[in-house]
Structures are given as C-alpha cells and as structure tokens.
Amino acid sequence: MKTLLLTITMLAMLSSATRGATDDTKSFVDHFHDDVNIPSYVALVDELIDAGEARIYTSVEEQKKDSRSPRAKTPNGILMLYTLTHTPGGVLVHFSTSRAPYLPTALGKHIVGLFMARSGWPKPAMFSVSDHQVFHAVWMVPEVQFVQIKAALPELREKTRKSEDAKAAFLRGLLRSRDLEEGPNQPPQRNAGSRPSSDDSPASETPSSLGPRG
C-alpha cells in the first residue's frame, strides 16, 4: 500500500514538473517506467559501479585531467558518472546523473536511489541538484574505513545481483530515493569565478569543480 501511494505521489509530481517541457522530455517521462527500459537502467548502473571502482584516482588533480572518467548512458539518454578519488581528507565518492534537456527531480532521485541500492552506499553525506538539473551524491570516506568497505562490498553486491531481478532492484531504488534531501551538509557549488557549462551533463559538474560554501 505504501509503495502504491508513493508511486501515485511521484506520478503527480512528474505531471507538474513536465508542464511546458519539450516533447522529448514528455516522451521520456511517459516511458521512463516501461518494462523494456528497467533492465538497461539496472545493468548499466552495475557496469558503472564496476568501472568506477576499477579506476580509483590518486588525487583530485588526476581526476580533473581525465576526460574519460567512468560513465554510462542509457538508451533513453540518462547520463551517469561515478568516480572515486583519494584526497587528504579521505576517499571522495561521487555519483552524478542528468539528461538533456531536462531530468525531472523525481526521476533523477530515482536513478540516484537505484545507484545507492545496487552499490551498497548509504545515504550520501551531501546531495544536491544543480541549476541544470544535474543530480550529485557525494560521500567522504576515511581511508581506513574505505579499505574495509572495498573488501566487503563485492561479496554483498554479488549476492544482490544474483537474488534480485531488475524490477525488484528498480523498486528498491525508488524506496532508497526517499532518503534524498538536498543537503544535509553544506551543498556543493562551483568555485568562485567558474562559469557553468551549457552542456547539461554531470561531466561539467564533477567534485573537482565543486566546493563547499565558505
């Protein structure tokens, strides 16, 4: 019953969000939940998780220089990026998603929730939605703790992937998305003097170009 009410609420939000949107966005929203799309969302998120954790950057500078950071794009145009970067304060874990020309908030949160459900990462330390509707989830993990997590997560994910079909994963992603509220810590913003990209994609809003409010 709770799931049904949540779905009804989300559909009402989508109806409001897409008023005045382009035909492309309306079509995307209409077909977002189609059975044919769900397996690709789940499969690409899983592939991105594996790719992101196979390529862990030694520094923010190295991550900034890499024009081919781990990313994935669904057949209906949802772009996702996932990076892990060693910093003096720990390992910076960053997932972002967007879709040009516009990704409605409820759907963007659903994709972030799906990533959380499949990756095993908890509620992010920082979650934000930019002016360009790019969704950012950020975790800062102490190095010692990261080593422990990195050792434990593969087994957990393998069990999840074997026992959970795509529809169940998609629903669990929707439930996890309820944890997402902008904040709760200081939201990221572009460094002073930087200019927002006209490209509506997470590639232009990576952690290297974001910083906490002063």
User: What's the confidence (pLDDT) of residue 1?
Assistant: 52
- Domain interval for residue 160: 38-183
203 forms beta bridges with none
DSSP label at 203?
A: G
4 lies in some domain: no
114 lies in some domain: yes
State how many domains the chain has.
1
Q: How would you write the pLDDT of the chain (214 residues) with one tens digit per residue? A: 544 444 444 444 444 444 445 568 999 999 999 999 999 999 999 999 999 999 999 999 999 999 999 999 999 999 999 999 999 999 999 999 999 999 999 999 999 999 999 999 999 999 999 999 999 999 999 999 999 999 999 999 999 999 999 999 999 999 999 989 876 543 333 332 222 333 445 555 544 343 332 2
CB contact at 8 A, 91 and 140: yes
16 lies in some domain: no
Whole-angstrom Cα distance, residue 38 to residue 59? 35
Here the tokens at position 110 are 């659903």
Whole-angstrom Cα distance, residue 41 to residue 78? 9
CB contact at 8 A, 181 and 82: no
198 lies in some domain: no
84 lies in some domain: yes
29 lies in some domain: no
Q: How much is the pTM?
A: 0.78
User: What's the confidence (pLDDT) of residue 212?
Assistant: 30
CB contact at 8 A, 184 and 138: no
DSSP label at 199?
A: S
191 lies in some domain: no
Task: Bin 201: left if φ > 0, else alpha if -120 < ψ < 50, else beta.
Answer: beta
Give the type of residue at 105.
T
118 lies in some domain: yes
| Number of neighbouring beta carbons within 10 Å of residue 34 | 9
User: What's the confidence (pLDDT) of residue 190?
Assistant: 34
